[in-house]
Structure 1
């Protein structure tokens, strides 16, 4: 048996300019030309980013309703869905770093060193995130609630609650973004916490000569005529107490200038409190205008009798001579009021 010549298999040796990351690839021989490795890495990274975006949207669409039924709060639902997106993007970032040759241990070491260096800078951000977690856990208000900032008097609707800030859509058609660490330290009034019904009050002072009973009846009837004012029904429970649902007038104080009456009434919604108050006051004015009731105002009466003492008042005769005196003083720049003179002297002039 004869054998032909055996040729040794030789592998091409890389040139000095061909390093491990610069060796070209022809993608299994499918392309007639070589592609640099950095181009392949960029392409793989773009594919990972695209897959991460598509996967996050699919997961949010599939799990959105289940998460909403589980938490039953819009703020927690949005936070959970943001966490799902963040988890997908973090996994995509780790995959991209692995494409470029970075291992998880190297990444952890780098993150540890970086955190130790810039920990002072990240402290406020981490504090805001922790405040956001407590804000979501305490549930002082929810998305869609109407709240008021006590220190500034601004009112609006909660538009969004994130781990970093709370966005409020004010009644002036503006957005107010407050960091969670700041809003947790401020006094906030929630008008939509559990019951949207809100109680308002109106002070009306009438004179002592007025018919107090008629005034109370007329003021209560005036409040019932407003559309969004609760005219009656069962008592409204606030905590352990119960209050009348219908408008009620109380005698608040016997003041210096009259009797202070306080009207307390409930409105169905807290969204237009100023408009409701204005309509109630308009009806009260119209009702009391033709009744035997007079709205009191600050005034004083002075009485003089025999025990009040005496006040000397005198009127000089010969007032015609004052004209010349007044012109003289006016020309000299002094006061035009003439000095006290003898009436006989004025007559001689």
Structure 2
């Protein structure tokens, strides 16, 4: 090929660079104008939600660049397209493997989040034993962005969410809430239990099926603990906080009306107090 006119042109570095750039730009524009609309149409047909679209579209753009680069590499006379793609892929794999191990780990974790779907955008999640919590705003290939309830944005590496336990309270269509009401030892447990159940049944945000329930769970130093278990539907963080707050307030008001005490911890002190007249030393 070097003895042909085309070979002599390809021997010119300027011409080779021009061929490379022209082919790369042409293949890139053609591939992107056809591949991206096709992928979007496929995602629309399959009903893929927003949190999964972004990483898939980014993978598509990466593949378009990869193919365009390999094709331009071959067109410029550096070997066949398959050899070029294999060479580029091997070099890229080695470089990425050495320099971006954490990035790869987070990328793989992002794929697991997409396939296993432990949570999705707009879900309220908690992780690291409740140390962190918030609403998922975006899931990318490397990180997940979570908006806390103090309006702070947390950028969390995906590996942190796949290597630890993540609580997703709003994944189901119902959420059970629990709260312990403390009453005095002299108060009637049956009466207090009836009030707790009645207030749950009267609240519009609390389900009657499953029915509210109450169990004696504690015999503490200063109170008897009655644990209320209630269910809410279509849970979100705002529903959770609002329903529980209103319910607890209503029960507290009923307890006050019926004369049921909600005691607080008390401590009895004992001992001997000595008094001594000023100026007299103890013998």
What TM bracket, shorter-length normalisation?
A: 0.7 to 0.9
Q: Assess, with a 3 A threshold, how the Cα gap between structure 1 residues 208 and 57 changes in structure 2: closer, same or farther.
A: same
Q: Say which of 20, 30, 41 aligns to 1:51.
A: 30
Which secondary structure state, in structure 1, belongs to the residue aligned with residue 77 of structure 2?
A: coil
Q: Assess, with a 3 A threshold, how the Cα gap between structure 1 residues 50 and 73 changes in structure 2: closer, same or farther.
A: closer
Q: Distance in 2 between matches of 1:38 and 1:274?
A: 63
Q: Distance in 2 between matches of 1:302 and 1:22?
A: 94
Q: Distance in 2 between matches of 1:184 and 1:49?
A: 35
State the Cα distance separating 1:286 from its structure 2 match: 1.1
Instruction: Answer yes or no: is 1:66 the counterpart of 2:45.
Output: yes
Stretches of structure 2 lacking an aligned partner (at least 5 in a row): none
How many pairs does the alignment contain? 270
**Which residue does 1:177 correspond to in 2?**
155
Q: Distance in 1 between matches of 2:50 and 2:190?
A: 50
Q: Say which of 183, 187, 202 aligns to 1:206.
A: 183
Q: Distance in 2 between matches of 1:197 and 1:281?
A: 19
Which secondary structure state, in structure 2, belongs to the residue aligned with residue 50 of structure 1?
A: helix
Which secondary structure state, in structure 1, belongs to the residue aligned with residue 261 of structure 2?
A: coil
The structure with more helix, counted as a fraction of residues: 2
CA contact (8 A) 2:182 2:223 kept: yes
Higher relative contact order (CA 8 A, sep 6+): 2
**Which residue does 1:8 correspond to in 2?**
none
State the Cα distance separating 1:296 from its structure 2 match: 1.6
Provide the TM-score with structure 2 as the length reference.
0.76
**Which residue does 2:244 correspond to in 1?**
277
CA contact (8 A) 2:16 2:76 kept: no
State the Cα distance separating 1:301 from its structure 2 match: 6.3
Q: Distance in 1 between matches of 2:275 and 2:146?
A: 71
Summarize deviations over 1:22-67 as a string: whole Å, max 9, x none.
79xxxxxxxxxxxx78667645543333323322332234323234
Aligned alpha-carbon RMSD (Å): 3.6
Q: How does 1:15-34 map to 2 (within 5 A)?
A: 20-21=11-12
Q: Distance in 2 between matches of 1:177 and 1:190?
A: 18
Q: Distance in 2 between matches of 1:251 and 1:79?
A: 49
**Which residue does 1:328 correspond to in 2?**
none
More deviation, 37-46/133-142 = 37-46
Which secondary structure state, in structure 2, belongs to the residue aligned with residue 208 of structure 1?
A: coil
Q: Distance in 2 between matches of 1:294 and 1:282?
A: 14
State the Cα distance separating 1:199 from its structure 2 match: 1.4
Provide the TM-score with structure 1 as the length reference.
0.63
Q: Distance in 1 between matches of 2:113 and 2:44?
A: 23
**Which residue does 2:124 correspond to in 1?**
146
Q: Distance in 1 between matches of 2:255 and 2:136?
A: 40
Q: Assess, with a 3 A threshold, how the Cα gap between structure 1 residues 119 and 260 changes in structure 2: closer, same or farther.
A: closer
Summarize deviations over 1:68-109 as a string: whole Å, max 9, x none.
3xxx66655554444433333322222333343332435634
Q: Distance in 2 between matches of 1:19 and 1:266?
A: 74
**Which residue does 1:86 correspond to in 2?**
62
